[in-house]
Amino acid sequence: MRIDHLQAFDAAARLGTFTHAAEELFLTQPSFSRKIAGLEAELGAPLFDRGRGGAALTAAGEALLPIARRILADERSARRTLDELAGLRRGLVRIGAPPTLCVSLVADVLAAFHARHPEIELHVLEAGAHTLAEALEAGDLDLALTVTREDRPGTDEARLVPLLREELVVVATAQRPHDGTTLPDEVTLAELAALPQVAFNRSYELRASTDAAFAAHGLTPRIAVEGAEMDAVLRFVERGIGVAVVPAMVVRGRAGLRSARLVRPALERTVNLALRRDAQASAAAAAMHEMVLASVPAMAGPGVVPLLS
């Protein structure tokens, strides 16, 4: 049985549809279907019942699934062993993070890691906390950078190493706004609610924390743009459409933005390194782990406090 055929089978079993499984593996639908058909022909039995509702495992598929996953786990283990023998001259690191960290800490870490280990292949999963936890638990990630806050401390699915505490700040265009107003050095939550805001998509943990703060204080924010992703939020703010609440590290190096502290109340979050429980890291993943820890002190600055001793 070919590894790529088993990977396609596992993806379809997890996701329930050939379409989503093909997208996950970056395959066209016909190419994906040929892999499943090849595996079924080799085994002499159908593995899925195809219907409008998706693809459900047959009895043969149910029997094959645990075997296939053991084979795939052994294949990953073999790759890790060979990575170590290669002395980091080849290998793969799979790292996950939410969008708010991909534009700051993760970008810095990956740049430093790639400069030191240019032959190591890097795969990045940009997703929310729940998806990252599931991917880590399933063995689809080697490590992840996640965020927690007091009212949502995280899950037991991963071992968390707190890295730094980061304030949320209010950002506005660095240019003089059309209405002539300027952003003061500090903005209260009540003052923020009265300003036109560029609001993140509701799938963002950051949006959830700001919405919860407004609700807790009986405030209704004034929304100028609703449902934007990280890059769009920053561009809209730079063009003076409104202000936004972002993590302090996001503002660094962006000349088109200026920031103000959010006070009364201040909002903050903890950035963590999430690791699989009871899993032995490959040499490449261990090197990435060390790079993340080594990068934390350099993150210190306004609104950012490293937590590593």
Set out the domains of the chain in order of their start, with CATH numbers. Answer: 3-83 (1.10.10.10), 92-164+270-303 (3.40.190.10), 165-268 (3.40.190.290)
Question: What contacts 232, CB < 8 A, 6 or more positions away?
Answer: none
Sort strands 257-263 and 186-188 into parallel, antiparallel or unpaired. Answer: parallel
- Write out the two tokens for 123: 């795969």
Q: What is the pTM assigned to this prediction?
A: 0.71
- Write out the two tokens for 39: 């595996």
Q: How many CB atoms lie within 10 A of CB 112?
A: 15
In DSSP terms, which residues pair with 123 in a beta bridge? Answer: 94
The identity of residue 4, as a single letter, is D
Query: 12, 62 in Cβ contact below 8 A?
Result: no
Per-residue pLDDT tens digits of the chain, which is 309 residues long: 899 999 999 999 999 999 999 999 988 989 999 999 999 999 999 999 988 778 999 999 999 999 999 999 888 888 877 777 677 777 889 999 999 999 999 999 999 999 999 989 999 999 988 889 888 888 889 999 999 986 555 555 678 999 999 999 999 999 875 555 578 999 999 999 999 999 999 988 899 999 999 999 999 999 999 999 999 999 999 999 999 999 999 998 899 999 999 999 999 999 999 998 777 788 889 999 999 999 999 999 999 999 986
Query: 308, 296 in Cβ contact below 8 A?
Result: yes
Q: 184, 179, 168: which is closest to 242 by C-alpha?
A: 179
**Residue indicated by tokens 């089978």:** 9
Burial class (CB in 10 A: 0-12, 13-18, 19+), 244: buried
Q: 92, 104, 143: which is closest to 290 by C-alpha?
A: 143
Helix (H) or strand (E) holding 36: helix 29-43
